[in-house]
Amino acid sequence: MDNPVIQVQGLDKSYGKVQALADLSLTVERGEVHGFLGPNGAGKTTAIRILLGLLRGDSGTATVLGADPWDQAVALHRRLAYVPGEVELWPNLSGGQAIDVLGKLRGGVDRARVEHVAKRFDLDLTKKGRTYSKGNRQKVALVAALAADVELLILDEPTAGLDPLMEAVFQSMIHEARDEGRTVLLSSHILAQVEVLADRVSIIRQGHIVETGTLTDLQQLARTSITAHLASPADDVAAMEGVHEFEQDEVRVHFEVETDHLDAVLKRLATLHVRSLVSRPPTLEQLLLRHYSDADSNASAS
């Protein structure tokens, strides 16, 4: 049972001339909540739709719950549930009917559980497709997925449009799902959500995973930012290994330093008569912003 739930290796996918995935590799272990982050158009949805067997990769391999998602889509689908980022409902069916239809396809609906989850999300099951607000449409898909008895939840920006109260309900439901031993792949743009929920995180950019690890691992990769007032000039700090974005304004310096080099830099600062020092700990946001924004450097590297 120790095989990863999702294992992707060297996956490529293009839509005509647009290369959506380039040598993507991703591993999601059993029982973890795996955050899947990346800027718009990075290829998250494309990767997920390949994992669901809706699209076929051009090359590379993908395994979900030990099976090939393209060849064994149906068997696989009984063991997973999916929430898309944009939920379209049938205009002439109520939310409850839609949930029933999807549940029966999976093999059966636990009505009590559906009603329980719907109640927690405060969802009226009798409204018809178009009469739901965006957030409520999203909830219909969430209820269908969270009420299903499945091992794997694949969620693509599942809470776009939910209010903060519902966001909290969602988070506690995901915690419960994990406690029950389910695996969750969570693509999201809401950092706070990922920080609270995810055990491990993968960052995708231009169809390629650029970083993967636990939140602590990733924080290691982020930089501590330091602002200090010094009595002596500190020009040589700028040249030290691991120091970035160095700015000096008479006696005040500001820079960012990689975690590995923090010790050496602090020792050097200590010799420069520190009058005051403010340090901000590394954050995931900072790491992400760095990855999201230096698109050009990576494009030329690849």
Partner 1 sequence: MTATRRITPTKRSGDKRSSSVFAGTRTLLLFALRRDRIRIPVWALSISLMSMAALAAIDDSFDDPESVAQIEVTMSSPAIVAITGPNYAPGEYTLGVMMGQRMLVWTLIAVAIMSIMLIVRHTRTEEATGRAELVRSAVVGRHASSFAAYMAVATANLAVAATVTLALGSAGADTVDWSGSLLYGAAHFATGLFFASVALVVVQISEFPRGVIGMGVGVVGVAFALRSAGDVAENGLSWVSPLGWGQATHVFHTDRWWPLAFLLIGALVLALLAAMLSTRRGVGAGLRAPRPSPATASSALTHPFGFAMRMQRGMVVGWSAGLFALGLTYGSVLPEMESFIEQFEELGAVFAEAGGATIMDSFVATIMMVLAVFASASAVLSAQRMRSEEVEGRAEPMLVAGLPRRTYYGAYVASAVLTTTVVMLAGALGFGLAGAAVVDGEVMRQTMVAAAGFIPALWVVSAVGFALVGIAPKFTAWVWALVAYSFVTVYLGPLLDLPEWTANLTPLGHPAQYPAEEWTWWPLLILTALAVLLIGIGAVAFRRRDFQSTI
Ligand X SMILES: Nc1ncnc2c1ncn2[C@@H]1O[C@H](COP(=O)(O)OP(=O)(O)OP(=O)(O)O)[C@@H](O)[C@H]1O
Q: In this complex, which beta carbon is closest to partner 1, that of residue 126 or of residue 297?
A: 126
Q: Taking CB within 5 to 8 Å according to partner kind, which of partner 1, ligand X, Mg ion, none is near residue 94?
A: partner 1
Report CA-CA distances (Å) from 181 to 37, 114, 148, 228: 23, 19, 14, 47
CA 187 to chain centre: 4
Residues that bind partner 1 (CB under 8 A): 49, 52, 54-56, 73-74, 77-78, 80-82, 84, 86-98, 100-107, 111, 125-128, 130-131, 141, 144
Residue 110 φ then ψ, to 5°: -95, 95
Strands lying side by side in the sheet with 80-83? 80-83, 152-156, 183-187, 33-37, 200-205, 208-214
Rounded to the nearest 10 degrees, the angle between the axes of helix 134-146 and helix 164-179 is 10
Under the criterion CB under 5 A, does residue 45 sit at the interface with Mg ion?
Answer: yes
- Beta carbon of residue 209, minimum distance to partner 1 (angstroms, whole number): 22
Q: Taking CB within 5 to 8 Å according to partner kind, which of Mg ion, ligand X, partner 1, none is near residue 18?
A: ligand X
Residue pair 248/234 in contact (Cβ under 8 Å)? The answer is: yes
Q: Taking CB within 5 to 8 Å according to partner kind, which of Mg ion, partner 1, ligand X, none is near residue 81?
A: partner 1
Residue pair 269/278 in contact (Cβ under 8 Å)? The answer is: no
Range 26-85, binding ligand X (CB under 6 A): 38, 40-46
- Beta carbon of residue 57, minimum distance to partner 1 (angstroms, whole number): 10
User: Rounded to an integer, what distance in angstroms lies between the CA atom of residue 75 and that of residue 14?
Assistant: 26
Q: Taking CB within 5 to 8 Å according to partner kind, which of ligand X, partner 1, Mg ion, none is near residue 192?
A: none
- Beta carbon of residue 90, minimum distance to partner 1 (angstroms, whole number): 6
Residues that bind Mg ion (rule: CB under 5 A) add up to a total of 1
Residue pair 154/177 in contact (Cβ under 8 Å)? The answer is: no
User: Rounded to an integer, what distance in angstroms lies between the CA atom of residue 197 and that of residue 288?
Assistant: 17
Q: Evaluate the CA torsion angle 85, 91, 96, 97 in order and state its sign.
A: negative
Q: Taking CB within 5 to 8 Å according to partner kind, which of ligand X, Mg ion, partner 1, none is near residue 52?
A: partner 1
* Secondary structure of residue 271 in the 3-state scheme: coil
Read off the amino acid at residue 265. V
- Beta carbon of residue 94, minimum distance to partner 1 (angstroms, whole number): 4
- Beta carbon of residue 21, minimum distance to Mg ion (angstroms, whole number): 13
Under the criterion CB under 6 A, does residue 15 sit at the interface with ligand X?
Answer: yes
Under the criterion CB under 6 A, does residue 20 sit at the interface with ligand X?
Answer: yes
- Beta carbon of residue 56, minimum distance to ligand X (angstroms, whole number): 13
Residues at the interface with Mg ion (CB under 5 A): 45
- Residues forming contacts to ligand X in the complex (CB under 6 A) are 15, 18, 20, 38, 40-46
